[in-house]
Structure 1
Amino acid sequence: MLYIFLAFIGGALVTLASIINSRLGKEIGVIQGTIINYTVGLICILLVCLFNGSLFKISSQGFLDIPLWAYLGGMVGVAVVILSNIVIPKIPVIYSTLLIFIGQIVTGIIVDYIFGNPISKGKFIGCIFIILGLVYNSNIDKKDLSSNRCEDLA
């Protein structure tokens, strides 16, 4: 139960971080906002490591033993923040969150397929339902927006 709660909190924090980062990116620029995001993140994680004692357990040999592909996580993280900073100010947060979620599900299905893991029918069907719901809700929002514009003109 604890891990379910922590996953829920993590998801909420991802959404909040995306909103905060996109507003910062809108204020000072996408790349500059990303630099601020990662600089503050670096300071925070260094403080956490300092206080829990793990900062001094990092060795230069430890960095050399890490496989090269593992460093791609940082580059992917930068791309995520940059893309979020571009997208979130342009579309409502609910749509961007759902689209990010759909991207995660589709990527999970693809990764499962590449590594020979069975693809869950539930994930696939759930992804289809989310996409259909997003399209349906988007059409409703367009109709509401156009009817509000007509009322404003009258």
Structure 2
Amino acid sequence: MKWVYMLLALAGGMMAGTQAPINGSLGKKIGSLEGAFTSFFVGLLFLTFLTLFFGKGQLVNVFYVPKWNLLGGLLGAVFVTIMIVTVPKTGAATAIFAAIAGQMIASLLIDHFGWFGVPKIPINMNRMLGVVLMILALFFIHRGSKWT
């Protein structure tokens, strides 16, 4: 059953890879911050619809969660803004792969220390080798682009 979640994550990654050049194009046309604002506003409208019709009615509990739980939205806004700025300069593949490598480094640290309530999964040689290979792949992906 875990493969279903891996497929969902794969689909989410494909959406993020598609979102970045779309937002990059929007940012070039209306401005980087304006593009990020517009992207999140459209997302807000979509999520408002979903919450109204499919939500569990527990939105009021947001006032009782630890305040650090609210940082996800801030981090998402910063990420989208960074992608809007970088994709037109580096190309989608380089920007997205660099972001994924950054996500892996952060995720390995989060797993290793068990931050944010995730199960502790120690960094080992296999995981380190995976990150080293990703950094090497990033070098080759960037080197192979016409933007260098």
The answer, yes or no, to whether TM exceeds 0.5 is yes
State the partner residue of 2:47: 45
Q: Which residue of 2 aligns with 1:151?
A: none
User: For 1:119, what is the secondary structure of its paired residue?
Assistant: coil
CA–CA distance in structure 2, aligned partners of residues 59 and 141 of structure 1 = 45
Unmatched 5+ stretches in structure 2: 115-119
What displacement does 1:108 show?
1.4
Structure 1 residue 12, shift from structure 2 partner = 0.3
Report what 2:104 is aligned to. 105
- Aligned residue for 1:86? 85
Identity, in percent, stands at 26
1:84-126 per-residue CA deviation (whole Å, 9 max, x = no partner) reads: 1111110021111211111011111222343364113222101
Shift of 1:137: 4.4
Q: TM-score, normalised by structure 1?
A: 0.80
Question: Offset at 1:40?
Answer: 0.7
Contact 1:105–1:123, Cα closer than 8 Å, also in 2: no
The Cα shift of 1:127 comes to 1.2
1:121 alignment partner, one of 121, 125, 129: 125
- 1:80: Cα distance to partner? 0.4
Q: What CA deviation, in whole Å up to 9, does each residue of 1:27-75 have, x standing for no partner? A: 10111111111111111011112222x27x1353x12211100111111
Mapped contact 2:20–2:96 kept (Cα < 8 A): no
Higher Rg:
1
* C-alpha RMSD of the superposition: 2.2
Q: Is the 8 A contact 2:93 2:141 kept in 1?
A: no
Give the distance between the partners of 1:46 and 1:106, measured in 2 at CA.
33
The match for 1:31 is 33
